[in-house]
Every structure is written in structure tokens, then in C-alpha cells.
Chains A and B, each alone.
Chain A
Amino acid sequence: MTLPLAVFFVLAAVAIAGAVNLIVQKHPIHSALSLIVVMVSLAGLYLLLGAEFVAAVQIIVYGGAIMVLFVFVIMLLNAGAEEHTNISKLAGGPGLLLAVALGAFIAATLARSPESVQTAVQSGTLAPTRAISSMIFKEFVYPFELTSFLVLVAILGATVLAQREKS
């Protein structure tokens, strides 16, 4: 096992453990912290793939800005521990089925090509940031601009909703 592969498995295990912990934890803050762990280990995985810019942005935007907002809101509302309820029958049956289906799908993909795990880790070659920017602003400029327009609409919506409370 090469070192990058070992790092991949460690990061993947941390990400999965964080995701499970996110669901299991009773307190919202603990769940939010688990989500941060997931985000940061995902950033590590991106770095392993050679996407250093994406990795840094992942931490800055998701790990930093968005999760700080989550934590801020949870702290501001002083949300207490949640009570665990029994899983509803409707969610339990199909949910279990879906989980099994997803697991089987992933296992089948892995079984078909054992190399795909190996190729998920390619250390050494780093994707230049210039390539990403030329892709965003040349090849995919319309989807990119449309997405930013969508975000702008969402921001405007939030502003309008926040102002309505005042008057």
C-alpha cells in the first residue's frame, strides 16, 4: 500500500465516521462539529486528487464561512439537545431498502474495477488554478453565470424576507 492510498483510507474513514456521528449526536452543536470534520476531510481528499485550489476553497467556504453561520445560528437560538424518536415505518422500510441499494451499487462498481480505488489517488500532479478559471470563464461560462444569477436571486429573496419582519 502506498502512502497516498493509506492517507486516502484514513481520510475516507474520518469522513464516514464524521457523517455517522453527525446523525447519531443529539446536540445540534455536536452535529455541526461533525459536519465540519466531514468537510475538512473531504478537502483532504481533494488535495489527494491534486485539486489544491478546490481543497482550499472547500475549507474556506464550507468549513469556514457556511459552518460558522450554522454554529452561529445554533448558538444564537441556544438550541438544546434533541429527543430521539422512533423511526417512522414509512421512512424505515424504503430508507433501509435505498441504503442497501446504494451500498450494493457502490460495492458492484468497486468489484468491477479494483483499479478505480487506486486511480482515485494520484499524488504529485497538481491541477493548476489557471486551468480551472479558464474552464469556468470560457467553456462553462453560461452555466457558471446562470448559477451566480441563481445565487443572486436567493440573496435578494433572503433580503426581502428579512425586511418584511421590520415593517
Chain B
Amino acid sequence: MNSILSANAGLILMVVKTILLLFIVLTVNAYLTWFERKVVARIQSRWGPYRVGPHGLLQPLADGAKFLLKEDPTPAGVDKFVYHMAPLLALTLALTSIAIIPFGPNPLPWKFFGHDIYLSIASPDMNIGILALFAITALGVYGVALAGWASNSKYPLMGGLRSSAQMISYELALTMSVVGVLLIAGSFNLRDIIKAQAQPGVFGWHGIFGWNVWRQIVGFFCFFIAAIAETNRAPFDLPEAEQELVAGFNTEYASFKFAMFFIAEYTSMITVSCLCSIMFFGGWLSPFPDSWTFTHYLPSAILIPFGLWVIWDGIRYETIFGRIVLPGLGTVMVALGALFVAFPIVNEFIQGPFWLLSKIFAFLFFYVWMRGTLPRFRYDQLMAFGWKLLLPLSIVNVIATSFAILEWGPK
């Protein structure tokens, strides 16, 4: 038994990690919908989900159950094979892209039959990291486009067409905008890209000033906007513009097939947030210089007060259920914060993931913020913006970066 385990340890480790990551990503997805509804509600001066569970915290579960239990009709006249394949394709590709993201710099403190346990499914020396991600997102458009076509209905077709046109227009700018970062790092490997940002940057200052966002501000601008367009999110959500196209490409989908598109969209939001943090905001690097060791207690300094606040809020909650659940949740947070303080090894280990997750969270908030505040682009504006502004700007950025590197070296 032991020999079988050790012989296939690498494979077992990968499968376990995949299942774990899948579980985490799907849960985060579910609560991202809750988060989005809450934030948009706050922007629009309403309460958002409030009835199911304390502060609507069980709303995602209720939604999930609803998706599973609803009738799943197949409309007449659809192209059956493509119709059923499209949501599967969208979801699979979206979830696959997460596998390439490294979530922390160091392997876990213990080994699994001689294998280092890194916080990513892909091998840490995967040299084509960023290219592989682009390859997966390049295929991602088929899910949306084919769904629109296979539904055999005019609004979905319009949605699918818009989606493919949008992808073609913004893919170029997206790819060109990261070239500057790749030139600075000299590698496609996501880990190397982060490592290249650990050096002192502008004016020789450490920490936050080494990040690519300072040297590649134009690249970041192009990348972030093109990435939002690639994920079909507001203000680039023309493929599913409710006021014009009913629901766009997914009009004819119901029940869990609709949910699959939904999950795919939110997963690609997470992927883009990961990429933005890694490429331009130093990934798991702390914004403070290494010598400021007291900042290592920041995770605890955030978790403990927040947990206390949740407890304080929970004991005054209207429902009895909330008065039990919320203080419990708060206690867990406080305990976690105390754990980090008590065990320096654990605290050191979570520094990287903590910073990366904070940055991802900030970008996700930004996504929601934009959806709550910006109106949708008109179609011609969308095309003009992509071809006439983003693409030339990103090409100029590549040329300027190349010259700068020739002149002063990659630093």
C-alpha cells in the first residue's frame, strides 16, 4: 500500500490539489455573487440579499439549490451537440486557467513522499505559464459564441456575434499589453515575473515601488481594460445586454447549464484579478520593505478586529439563527488571527498568500464597483476604443519599454 502511494505520490498530490482548488474556487464563486449583490446594493442604496441566513449569507446556497432543481428544457430547433457542449466548454476552460496561478512563493513546510507541496497545480517551473493562460482564454470565447449560435434564436445569436467580435478586438491589446512585463522579467514563468518585481524599483526604494505597475502603467491600463472586455463584464457586457438582447447568449439556457455560464464568468473574473496582481502588483510580494518585520502581523491585525466586530454585530442580530452563526464566524476569525500570532512558522508561510489574496480581493471589488457605477459602452464606442486607443497604446508601450531596456537595462 505504502509503495503504491509513494510511487504515484506526484499524481495523487495533483488530484488532491485539483479537487481542493475546485472546491475553493466554486465556493469563492458562490460568495462572489453574494459580495457583488451586496456591494451593488450598497452603491444603489438598497439592502441586497438579507432574508436567507444572517446578512443573506446563505443566499448563494439557496441559489445553487435552485439552479440544480429547476426544470432544464432543451428548446426545439437547437443544435443539440453544440448546445450541450457550449456551457461545458466555457466552464472547463475557465476552471482550467486557475490551475496555472501560483498562490504562494514557498512549498508547505512538510513534504508528501518527497514531493514539495506548492500552492499551485501547475509545476512551479512551468516556463510558458502566461502563454498557457492566454491559450486557455483564447479558447474561452467558443463557449459564449457557440452557445449563441446553437440556441437557434435571434437574441442569443446577436450575443454570440458580439462576444466573438469583442474578443477578436481586445485579444490583441490584451496580449500586446503584457509584452512590456515579459521584457522586464525576461520569462513567461509567472513565478519569475513576480521575482523580477522584488528588486528595488523607482528611486531604488523597496517594496511597493518595485512593482511593475509603476514602470508599466500604460501596460496595466491596457491590460486591465482589455481583460474586463474579455470577461464580458460591465461596462463591456454587450453580449448579455439585458435591455437589448433579453439576456444575450444565454437566453435559451436554463437551470444548471445557465449556472455553468455564470460560474465560468465569475471564475474568469478571479483569473483576471490573479493575473493583474501577479503581472503588475507584485503577486505575493508585500508592499512594505522586507526590513519592516512588524508588518508580518498585519493578517492578524486585520482578522482579529474584524472577527470582534462580527461577534459584536452578531449578538445584536434580529434572528436567533444569526445570533448563533455570526458570533461563531467571528470567533473562528479571531482564533485564526491568534493562531498566526502564536505560531511564527505559520505566520511566515501565510504572508505570500495573504498579500496575493488581498490584491485579488481588491481587484474583484474594483470589478463590482465598476459594474455598479459605469454605464455600458455603445457598440461603435467599444470597437473604436479597442482598435483606435488600446491597440496603438499597447504597441507604443512595447516599443517604449524595449528602448528603455536597451538604454538602461531591465531595471
Contacts and interface: CB of A to CB of B under 8 A. Distances in A.
Interface of A: 27, 29-30, 33, 36, 40, 43, 52-53, 55-57, 59-60, 63-65, 68-69, 71-72, 75-76, 78, 126, 128-129
Contact of B142 (A30, A36, A52, A69): A36
Contacts of B175: 60
Contact of A52 (B127, B134, B138, B145): B127
Contact of B168 (A29, A72, A129): A72
Contact of B139 (A29, A55, A59, A72): A59
A65 B138 contact: yes
A71 B146 contact: yes
A159 to B, nearest CB: 12
14 contacts: A29-B79, A29-B146, A53-B128, A59-B135, A59-B139, A60-B131, A64-B139, A64-B141, A68-B141, A68-B142, A75-B161, A128-B127, A129-B127, A129-B188
B127 A72 contact: no
Nearest to B148: A75
A63 B138 contact: yes
Nearest to B160: A75
Pick from A27, A40, A52, A64 the residue with the most CB of B within 10 Å: A64
Pick from B81, B131, B165, B175 the residue with the most CB of A within 10 Å: B131
Tier of interface size on chain B: 20 to 34
Nearest to B85: A33
Contacts of A52: 127-128
A129 B160 CA distance: 35
Given A71-B145, A72-B165, A75-B149, A64 B138 contact: yes
A68 B141 CA distance: 8
B135 A29 contact: no
Contacts of B14: none
Contacts of B331: none
A64 B128 contact: no
Contacts of A129: 127-128, 188
Contacts of B127: 52, 126, 128-129
Contacts of B146: 29, 33, 71
Interface of B: 79, 81-82, 127-128, 131-132, 134-135, 138-139, 141-142, 145-146, 148-149, 157, 160-161, 164-165, 167-168, 171, 175, 188
A60 B134 contact: yes
B131 A68 contact: no
B131 A71 contact: no
B134 A56 contact: yes
A56 B132 contact: yes
Contact of B131 (A33, A56, A65, A72): A56
Contacts of A43: 135
Contacts of B149: 29, 71, 75
A59 B135 CA distance: 6
A70 to B, nearest CB: 10
Contacts of B82: 29-30, 33
Give 4 nearest A-B pairs by CB, closest first. Answer: A64-B138, A56-B131, A59-B135, A72-B164
A64 B171 contact: yes
A64 to B, nearest CB: 3
Pick from B139, B146, B175, B188 the residue with the most CB of A within 10 Å: B139
Nearest to A40: B139
Nearest to A75: B149
Nearest to B168: A68
A132 B216 CA distance: 26
Contacts of A53: 128, 131, 188
B145 A72 contact: yes
Contact of A75 (B135, B138, B145): B145
Given A56-B132, A126-B127, A71 B171 contact: no
Contacts of A76: 161
Contacts of B171: 64-65
A69 B289 CA distance: 47
A68 B164 contact: yes
A72 to B, nearest CB: 4
A55 B131 CA distance: 10
Nearest to B171: A65
Contact of B161 (A59, A65, A72): A72
Nearest to B136: A59
B145 A59 contact: no
A95 to B, nearest CB: 29
